[in-house]
Every structure is written in structure tokens, then in C-alpha cells.
């Protein structure tokens, strides 16, 4: 892609994410995003022929925690949860999660997008936990729900910032109640 087109796309998606944070999914229209990004509507339609295409790229731009395993499962899981907390509190992730939840029940395209984003968002923790599970241990998705669920609840439902004590408690409780063996889980 030529540099000018790349800059235009980045500018439009940045404007679209700003509008998403300000007003939710309903304000993500070609006209409103074009105005915010200061680009022509023809440019918008050339890059995003439909509103669904624009929504997809806006929502797919969510940043997710990424971790490089260190060999210390507790520290790695804690780092992941800290990154998730920061993405929920300081980025658009909480708004995106709430908007996707609202719309996915009635819009199969949004439901499909939500499934892809959930898969991408859970991949780092799934890989980390999957590498440390022993036979008969709970499913990795259950562990992910036990670790990430309270953060989503605290931010999206209670409107609070999860503190360090909550993250420590989650990690210690979940890892202690579901012991694993293997190289990523020494000491538990």
C-alpha cells in the first residue's frame, strides 16, 4: 500500500475510534468519520465500501495484551492481566467489548467479528496457560474466564480500575486452585 493511502487509512481509523469512544457504534458512519478525519466521503467509500467494513476495521484495531513468556507463569499471567487492565481503562477496549456485546445478539456480522476479536484477545493467555496444563486440569477457557472475567466486571460494570491487589489475588487464587506441572509453572 502506498504511504499516502496508509496515512489516510490510519487517520480515518483514528478518527473512527475517537468517535466510538465519544458516542458508541451509532456514530460510526462514513459521513461523520469523514468529517472528523477531514477526508472526502469518496475516499471513505473507496477504502470501506460499507459501514460494516468501516466498523470491522475500527473494532479490529483494538489492542490486546501481548506477552513474551519468561518461564515464570505467575509473573507472565500477572503481566497479561496488567496489560488487559490498561487496555480496558486507558484504551477503547471496554467500549468495544460493550458495543460488541450489545450488537452481536442481533447482528450476525458483529457476532462473527466479536468471535474473531475474542479469539485474538485470548490467544496469548490461552497459549501460556495451555502450555502449563496437566491432564485432567480445567479447560483453558475456564481459567481465562476466572482470570479475565473479574477485570471486565470491575471496569465495565462497576466502573472502577482494578488495583494491584485484585490482580495479585486473581493470579494466586486461580493458579493455586488449578495446579499445573511443566516448565512454565515452577514453585506451585
The CATH number of whichever domain residue 14 belongs to comes to 1.10.10.60
* Owning domain of residue 129: 73-177
In 3D space, the residue among 15, 154, 167, 171 whose CA is nearest the CA of residue 89 turns out to be 154
DSSP secondary structure, 127-168, as one string: HHHHTTPPTTPPPHHHHHHHHHHHHHIIIIIT-----HHHHH
Pair 106, 168 in one domain: yes
* Whole-number Å distance between alpha carbons of 23 and 6: 26
Pair 45, 86 in one domain: no
What is the distance between the terminal CA atoms of the chain, rounded to a whole angstrom? 49
Give the pLDDT band (50/70/90) at residue 132: low
Q: Which residue has the cell 494491584?
A: 164
Residue at 138 is within a domain: yes
At residue 105, what are phi and psi to the nearest 5 degrees? -70, -30
| Residue 29: per-residue pLDDT | 94
| Residue 15: per-residue pLDDT | 94
* Whole-number Å distance between alpha carbons of 65 and 79: 9
28-44 tens-digit pLDDT: 999 999 999 999 999 99
Pair 93, 165 in one domain: yes
CATH of the domain at 170: 1.10.357.10
Residue at 184 is within a domain: no
* Residue 186 cell numbers, joined: 515452577
Pair 142, 98 in one domain: yes
40-69 tens-digit pLDDT: 999 999 999 998 889 888 887 666 667 788
Pair 91, 164 in one domain: yes
* The total number of structural domains that make up the chain: 2
Burial of 106 (0-12, 13-18, 19+ CB in 10 A): exposed
Pair 159, 122 in one domain: yes
* Whole-number Å distance between alpha carbons of 19 and 32: 8
Give the pLDDT band (50/70/90) at residue 114: confident
CA-CA distances (angstroms) from residue 145 to 46, 140, 150, 154, 175? 40, 9, 8, 13, 13
What mean pLDDT comes out for the span 115-119? 84
Residue at 58 is within a domain: no
Calculate what percentage of the chain has a pLDDT beyond 70.
88
Give the pLDDT band (50/70/90) at residue 172: very high
72-87 tens-digit pLDDT: 999 999 999 999 999 8
| Residue 136: per-residue pLDDT | 60
Amino acid at each position: 500500500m502506498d504511504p499516502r493511502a496508509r496515512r489516510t487509512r490510519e487517520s480515518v481509523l483514528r478518527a473512527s475510534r475517537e468517535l466510538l469512544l465519544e458516542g458508541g457504534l451509532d456514530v460510526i458512519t462514513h459521513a461523520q468519520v469523514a468529517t472528523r478525519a477531514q477526508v472526502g466521503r469518496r475516499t471513505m467509500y473507496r477504502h470501506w465500501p460499507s459501514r460494516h467494513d468501516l466498523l470491522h476495521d475500527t473494532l479490529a484495531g483494538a489492542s490486546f495484551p501481548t506477552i513474551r513468556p519468561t518461564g515464570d507463569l505467575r509473573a507472565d499471567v500477572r503481566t497479561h492481566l496488567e496489560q488487559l487492565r490498561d487496555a480496558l481503562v486507558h484504551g477503547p477496549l471496554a467500549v468495544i467489548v460493550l458495543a460488541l456485546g450489545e450488537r452481536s445478539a442481533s447482528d450476525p456480522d458483529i457476532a462473527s467479528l466479536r468471535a474473531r476479536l475474542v479469539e485474538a484477545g485470548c490467544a496469548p493467555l490461552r497459549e501460556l496457560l495451555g502450555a502449563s496444563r496437566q491432564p485432567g486440569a480445567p479447560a483453558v477457557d475456564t481459567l481465562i474466564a476466572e482470570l479475565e472475567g473479574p477485570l471486565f466486571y470491575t471496569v465495565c460494570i462497576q466502573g472502577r480500575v482494578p488495583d494491584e491487589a485484585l490482580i495479585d489475588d486473581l493470579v494466586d487464587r486461580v493458579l493455586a486452585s488449578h495446579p499445573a506441572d511443566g516448565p512454565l509453572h515452577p514453585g506451585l
